[in-house]
Amino acid sequence: PVPGALQPGVARVGKYLMLDLLGEGAFGKVRQAVDESSGKQYAMKIMAKSHIKANELTLQVRREIAVMKAMRHPNIVNLHEVLTSTKNLYMVMDLVTGGELFDAVAEQGRLSEATTRLYFQQLVDGIHYCHTRRVFHRDLKPENLLLSGDKQTLKITDFGLSSIKAQNASSELLHTIMGSPHYIAPEIITSASEGYEGSKVDVWAAGIILFGMLAGFLPFDEVDTKALYRSIVHSPIQYPPHFSYDVIKLLRSMLQKDPNRRPSMEQVKAFAWFKVDYEPAVVPE
Ligand code: ADP
Ligand code: MG
């Protein structure tokens, strides 16, 4: 039970009244919440402090909070405030009501090239904004991409695995094995001990997401994790016949096994397929 509950089934956290469960992830539950004084609705991510035992994880959570609070972009889920109780940590975020991108793709089988491009442009805009601030998501996948109620805006959530590279850090590389198997870049599998470049890992994952929206299936898909990894590292990608020449050109570039040959997000924006009907996001001051 949440501290501050007035009666069974009605829970309060600070000035927020807790409503329906929206989703569950690796770090905890996300519930709908309303600020009764303003009537404004939010999404509240609840993380049990008991699940955050080691100092290192506490640091990770603090980092996640700092990262999300600093982000102000139309394609990034905004964090409003963070509350704590003896048991829990509560993150108050924008409520995004259109569901996960994953569900939109599953419902329709696959997305049209026009819809795919709209979401991809917004995904790249949001990630590029993060990359210019030396923030890497490192867990990009359709479950962490939410859609607005009218399905016109994509918003990136779940910065639990992101990390800010210190400006004075000697190493340009990130060392941990993280992420979801289907979206993991080949260099994470083959060279974990040598580290990897966070921005190129995000470019790879964005390429897999682009392929997935357009095809309705993923380029590397094996039930066995070892076989999946082998395929990510060694197998060439087969492009479905309905993919346009320009999108294949972009995908071939983003999904190069060698991260050094992969484009930056800025370079992705220069591809012909990306530039069609592109309206850059308006970033608030
Ligand atoms: P975790 O870090 O535990 O994976 P996420 O931040 O990914 O948690 O949230 C888990 C799920 O909760 C998401 O996949 C999504 O379905 C839902 N969710 C997360 N944030 C929001 C939000 N701002 N608005 C609506 N639903 C959300
Ligand atoms: Mg998640």
Per-residue pLDDT of 220-261, as tens digits, reads: 999 899 999 999 999 999 999 999 999 999 999 999 999 999
Predicted confidence (pLDDT) at residue 3 exceeds the cutoff of 80: no
Q: Where is average pLDDT lowest: 82-86, 88-92, 123-127, 161-165?
A: 161-165
The overall average pLDDT reported for the chain is 84
How many Å lie between the centroid of ligand 2 and the Cα of residue 144?
5
Q: What is the DSSP letter of 270?
A: T
Contact 209, 183 (CB under 8 A): yes
How many Å lie between the centroid of ligand 2 and the Cα of residue 119?
18
pLDDT confidence of 210, banded at 50, 70, 90?
very high
Q: Which residues form ligand 1's pocket by a CB distance below 6 Å?
A: 22-28, 30, 43, 45, 77, 93-96, 100, 143-144, 146, 157-158, 160
pLDDT confidence of 55, banded at 50, 70, 90?
very low
pLDDT at 193: 57
Sign of the dihedral through C-alpha 263, 230, 198, 174: negative
Please report which ligand is nearest the Cα atom of 30: 1
Q: Give 16's strand partners.
A: 13, 35
| Averaged pLDDT, 64-90 | 83
The pTM (predicted TM-score) of the whole model is: 0.86
Q: Give the ligand 1 atom nearest the CA of 93.
A: 23
In the chain, which ranges are E strands? 12-13, 16-25, 28-35, 40-48, 79-84, 88-94, 135-136, 145-147, 154-156, 163-164
Q: Which amino acid type is present at position 229?
A: Y
What is the per-residue pLDDT across 113-171, written as a single tens digit (0 to 9) for each?
999 999 999 999 999 998 888 788 878 888 889 999 999 999 998 764 454 333 323 33
45 assigned to a ligand binding site: yes
Please report which ligand is nearest the Cα atom of 95: 1
Instruction: Give nearest CA residue, ligand 1 atom 8.
Output: 25
